[in-house]
Amino acid sequence: MTKPIDDYDLYDKDFALWWRKGLESFGMDTSIVDEWEREQAEAA
| 3-state SS assignment for residue 20 | helix
Question: pLDDT at residue 22 above 70?
Answer: yes
Strands (E), the chain: none
Look at 1-5, 7-11, 30-34 and tell me which has the smallest mean pLDDT: 1-5
Q: What is the pTM of this model?
A: 0.74
Sign of CA dihedral 27, 32, 38, 42: negative
Categorize the per-residue pLDDT at 44 as very low, low, confident or very high, splitting at 50, 70 and 90.
confident
pLDDT at 17 over 80: yes
Residue 27 carries which DSSP code? T
